Amino acid sequence: MKTKYTKMQSNGNDFLVSEDYGIVTKTRELSDRRGNIGFDQLLYFQNGNMPKLRVYNADGSEADNCINGLRCIAFLYGLKNTYIQIKNKKFLVNITTNGATVEGDMPIVDKIDNWFVIKFGNNHIAKFCENIDEFDLKAEYVKAKGYKPFNKIKDFNMSIFKICGDIIKIRTYENGTGETLSCGSATLSVACALSKELNLKKFKFSSRGGVTKVYISNDSVISEARAQVLEEGFLNG
């Protein structure tokens, strides 16, 4: 039996999409970029009256949220004004000409020392970094994992950012995957933190994979970026 899959990306954050749950057990193998399909996360999508999405990191662990993954699903299935459920949260998606918007509730934003701590499905920590391009992100993530005040924050993603005029440069190290070219939930999290800190409502983020626009509206936050189908095929069962 063969399993259909679609490989997609949003700002360089790439995914394997399938409606076959059996593929989940092969996540670690298939995500390996050395001789296999290669991707950051696997998206298992259940279409229906209340569409559901489950997200698996490259190491096989399950993530609690994935904004770029939601964006890819919306683009692939042509979804308009549709809610998709991830775990216990629902997000409103709308396809655009070359991507999709994803809207969710405003997260909880706290601060520990010079770090923002944001709970947006996935847990995020983020801080300002002047030398963002040269910064050793992996080493800082390992250091943060051993930082005692973060002991109670489960499986967090870590971002560093720098405000450069109208653009916010950002890099993210994702739990279970490593550094990715972009992270949709990270841009939303940093936007919400900066909105609280600086009372701003519109943001434009630049990651190594592309540009994401974020808008704060009342009690919700909206992310807009491109999405693209890279390939489609079948895997042997």
Query: Per-domain residue ranges for the chain?
Result: 2-103, 105-224
Specify the DSSP element, H or E, that contains 185.
helix 184-198
Q: Are the beta carbons of 56 and 41 closer than 8 angstroms?
A: yes
Residue 237 has pLDDT above 70, yes or no: no
CATH topology assigned to domain 105-224? Diaminopimelate Epimerase; Chain A, domain 1 (3.10.310)
d(CA 11, CA 34): 21
Confidence of residue 236 (pLDDT cuts 50, 70, 90): confident
C-alpha distances out from residue 31 to 9, 23, 58, 98, 164, Å:
14, 11, 6, 25, 34
What's the pTM value of the predicted model, to 2 decimals?
A: 0.94
Residue 110 has pLDDT above 70, yes or no: yes
Span 40-93, pLDDT tens digits: 999 999 998 999 999 999 999 999 999 999 999 999 999 999 999 999 899 999
Question: Which is nearest to 7 in space by CA: 42, 45, 34?
Answer: 42
CATH homologous superfamily of domain 2-103?
Answer: Diaminopimelate Epimerase; Chain A, domain 1 (3.10.310.10)
Specify the DSSP element, H or E, that contains 120.
strand 115-120
Span 137-175, pLDDT tens digits: 999 999 999 999 999 998 999 999 999 999 999 999 999
Span 186-207, pLDDT tens digits: 999 999 999 999 999 999 999 9
Confidence of residue 224 (pLDDT cuts 50, 70, 90): very high
105-224 shares the fold of 2-103: yes
pLDDT at 79: 98
User: Distance between alpha carbon 158 and the CA centroid of its chain, in Å?
Assistant: 12
Report the pLDDT averaged over residues 126-139: 97
